[in-house]
Structure 1
Amino acid sequence: MTRALERWRPGRDEGSAHGFDRRLLAPMMTGAALNPVNSSIISVSLVPIGAAFGSPPSRTAWLISALYLATAIGQPVMGRLIDLFGPRRLFLAGTALTGIAGVVGMLAPSLGMLVAARVLLGFGTCSGYPAAMYLIRSEARRTGEKSPAGVLTALAITTQTIAVVGPSVGGLLVGIGGWRATLAVNIPLALLGLYLGARRIPALPGTARTDGRPWVRSLDLPGMGLFAVALSCLLLFLMDIGSGAWWLLVLTLAAGAGFTWRELRAGEPFIDVRVLGGNLPLVATYGRALLCYVVTYAFLYGFTQWTEQGRGLSASQAGLVQLPLFATGIAVSALTGRRQAVRGKLLVGAVGQIVACALLLLLHGDSPVWMLLAVVVVLGVPQGLNGLALQNAVYHQSDGDRVGSSAGLLRTFGYLGAITASAANGAFFGQRADTGGLHHLAWFMLATSVLFLAVTVADRSLRGIGETSENDSQDDGENP
């Protein structure tokens, strides 16, 4: 995959450069992996954390939502900062914050402190993925290579690998050092990221350095604030939807309207809603990401909790059950990664999600392990297709000058899906992750999957994405 990625040398003439700098792959992958590892590794820790602090699933769900609220807000903010100032310093700052959060979480004396550590983790892990997408675009400009299929595939496989293998690693860590080990793992990962980022990421200039204006004036702070208020109110409403706190939904709509009004009038908006309004295919991709990740994360957390409480497996066993998901997802991504056309991947991925959700309805407390593995294998197919297709779609649909913030916004919509999934898990499971709750969750996931398929079939703009680049890459022996 990295064979065609040529080594970057400072001072090299840009016109003579051929191939992507393969030295960038290690920091890109390490940074992009920090968020999915913390997203997935917690899935097998929820039950032992709940036992340690005497908290039911409805309360431990905040460990999921806190991370995703921070990342949903932080990803586009960090992406915009990377667009303005370049990736290196922000990558290093975010990675350092991740290590600090690992220390806080490892020593947390209460569930509240642990939730605070997860918020820090959310903000700390925000820089990796936008920085990677910025570097890919920067290398494309430097080399003249327009279709970095191998690089995008490597990035997608990395995030998918970590997301899927996370439960297995988490189960192993819980067995060795208890649930605190799943927080402590961030310390060595952060140190590795700091080393690689400092040694290999070049100090690329951002757009803010070209006009000589103070950096604060390049930031749309009111827009960022309204965006954060809207998402926070939405999360609070979703996490306790049964309480009837509709005023939170009203605040969400009001803050959202204020955010839109502000962005339409800002000289340098945080999120250029005018561009989004004129780029409906990109908006549709963000909507598909939300639907896709509702199903992905509802399964990751809901199914894993059920295997421990409803099926009676240990944390280590529950993690091992997820391994076929890892193997299938990676195999599918590797086999299809060189093909950049996204429509076929999304269609097959949507059908795969529908089949997997239907299979969940067949599971019971005494179901044999081979049935659990069958469900996991089926879901591995869309796991390997959807993330890669959505990433490629954003790369081709977004404005080149805002690729960092566009990539961050893709993650934001994915995390909105995760927040919705977390709220659904808390609502359907209540005090215990039993089989009845799993079946109710499966019906919710099935309806979401059908909607995902419907909006994909209806979107004609997907037909041309990647097809031209794909034909070009077949004529270019340098492509990975």
Structure 2
Amino acid sequence: MPLSLKNKEFYLITAVALGIMLNPLNTTMISVALTRLQQDFQLTFADLSWIISTYYLASAIGQPVMGKWSDLFGRKRVFITGLLLVALSSCLAPFSPSFGWLIGFRIIQAVGSSALYPAGMGMIRNQITSNQAKALGILSVFSGVSAAFGPTLGGLLLHYGDWPMIFLINFPFILASLLLAWKIFPRDPARTGSPADMDWAGVLFFSITIFMWLFSFMRIQESYSVWMLAGSVLLSFLFYKFELGKDRPFIDVGFLRKNMTVTLIYVQFILMNLVFYSVMFGMPSYLQSVQQLDPQQTGFVMLSIAGFSVLVTPIAGRWIDRSGSKPALLLGGAGVVVGMLLFLLIQGHTHAAMIFVILSVMGISYGFNNLAMQTALYDFVTREETGVATGLFMTSRFIGTILSSSLLAALFGKHITTGHLHSMAWVCAGIGIVVLLLTIRLPGRRRSLMPGA
């Protein structure tokens, strides 16, 4: 019996949602498993940070590449290929003979899951013509919530199994998404280009630049090098000049240059994600190493971030509709500063309930910031600029998460102490103040999104 249009759209959104949740879910589920991985592979926290940073590095590169490939080779084909890559990596990762192999399988997982967001969003935009904004909003919230719930799910999986479970749990989601996509997604049209259309030189240049910054920050604790930092700055400038002269650049720096308000929104989003993921990755290891909580208890404490983020999101949405993005961003930025300063109250003997309350402040601030940053972006871009603006927005998220792993590696080093946690809190509170200052200078008026605006 043929599906009605309403049912077909429901299954289409479900297929895409189950796919795009894999990337954010797998980025944060592993945070609870870091202590077990450290024990199994005999690693320092600085060593462990590579499994986080390489995943985000691959995602930051993979998202725009796979987005371009979905345009060239078909969204259904790229989406299903991404699911198969995630399945392959999730199957092999539990049997990793060494930490290097595990990093390799995680990179494959990152590349595969990076294909799902651009291909899935492109499919939604093409196939759903009515209430499209509502569908995209559901997917956006779904993606953010899955990231926030990752540590809680990871804690439960480690309590009843071990770290391989965080890879095996992917299979129900992969299978459901694969079956629905195979059935519901329309057949791809003929190819419209070739791999030669990709700015491969830009991809390579961007990869080297990001890796140079990553390596510079990762070595801060061991031996700070002014020359390495200067080299990172120089590479960034050269990459900017290189991409500026391209007709079809990998990163549209020309768009950034002519939209300075949007560029500063990206900077703000990078900083927000730096703080959020520093907490998401740093706290589970601290709770297990210093507070001596087991993975399940750790997952429940981390649930405060996800739970309060979900609770405040609809409140934030209604407030933003009435007053615009700026007031919500001011509250979210203030929440970051207050929340990180409250971290200074945490000591080695602090009760888990107290930590839960402190983390709830971060959950509230994330709920306001995450939604308000997205709406702020679209306040200052035209409809024609939406595609490139969204792609750069996701790249900004990944850059922030890469920097978070570098910050944790620099602050935590070989082992984690309460003093190290307090150092993280001071740094992140300072970043929160910068986020507040950027919000204050953000124009309050809403720009029309009509074509040509």
TM-score by length of 2: 0.90
Match of 2:409 among 426, 451, 464: 426
* 1:108 pairs with 2:107: no
* 1:225 pairs with 2:207: no
Moved more, 359-368 or 85-94: 85-94
Deviations 1:76-134 (A, max 9, x none): 22223334555322221212111111122111111111111121121111122223443
- Letter aligned with residue 173 of structure 1: L
Corresponding residue of 2:359: 376
* 1:295 pairs with 2:275: yes
Corresponding residue of 1:241: 220
Shift of 1:261: 2.9
User: Measured at CA, do residues 25 and 395 of structure 1 come closer, stay the same or move farther in structure 2, by a change above 3 Å?
Assistant: farther
Shift of 1:250: 4.4
Match of 2:307 among 298, 320, 327: 327
* 1:256 pairs with 2:240: no
Written as runs of structure 1 = structure 2, the 5 A alignment for 1:46-445 is 46-138=34-126, 142-143=129-130, 148=133, 150-203=134-187, 209=192, 214-242=193-221, 243-337=223-317, 339-340=320-321, 341-395=324-378, 397-398=380-381, 400=383, 403-445=386-428
Contact 1:82–1:404 (Cα < 8 Å) also in 2: no
- Letter aligned with residue 243 of structure 2: E
RMSD: 2.5
User: Measured at CA, do residues 86 and 288 of structure 1 come closer, stay the same or move farther in structure 2, by a change above 3 Å?
Assistant: farther
CA distance, structure 1, for counterparts of residue 406 and residue 167 of structure 2? 22
Shift of 1:330: 0.9
Contact 1:79–1:404 (Cα < 8 Å) also in 2: no
Match of 1:24 among 12, 15, 19: 12
Shift of 1:441: 0.5
Shift of 1:249: 3.6
Shift of 1:403: 4.4
Shift of 1:398: 4.8
CA distance, structure 1, for counterparts of residue 67 and residue 385 of structure 2? 8
Contact 2:19–2:173 (Cα < 8 Å) also in 1: no
Gaps of 5+ in 1: 10-20, 470-480
CA distance, structure 2, for counterparts of residue 370 and residue 433 of structure 1? 21
Secondary structure at the aligned position of 1:364 is classed as: coil
Shift of 1:397: 4.5
User: Measured at CA, do residues 90 and 229 of structure 1 come closer, stay the same or move farther in structure 2, by a change above 3 Å?
Assistant: same
- Letter aligned with residue 436 of structure 1: G
Contact 1:160–1:329 (Cα < 8 Å) also in 2: no
Shift of 1:204: 6.3
- Letter aligned with residue 240 of structure 1: R
Gaps of 5+ in 2: none
Contact 1:50–1:60 (Cα < 8 Å) also in 2: yes
What percent identity do the matched residue pairs reach?
30
CA distance, structure 2, for counterparts of residue 138 and residue 463 of structure 1? 31
- Letter aligned with residue 223 of structure 1: G
Shift of 1:353: 1.0
CA distance, structure 1, for counterparts of residue 357 and residue 339 of structure 2? 9
CA distance, structure 1, for counterparts of residue 376 and residue 189 of structure 2? 26
Deviations 1:296-340 (A, max 9, x none): 001111112111111111111101111222221111113333545
User: Measured at CA, do residues 286 and 184 of structure 1 come closer, stay the same or move farther in structure 2, by a change above 3 Å?
Assistant: same
CA distance, structure 1, for counterparts of residue 187 and residue 152 of structure 2? 36
Shift of 1:254: 4.2
Secondary structure at the aligned position of 2:355 is classed as: helix
- Letter aligned with residue 439 of structure 1: H
CA distance, structure 2, for counterparts of residue 117 and residue 334 of structure 1? 37
Corresponding residue of 2:430: 447
- Letter aligned with residue 103 of structure 1: C
Moved more, 336-345 or 444-453: 336-345
TM-score by length of 1: 0.85
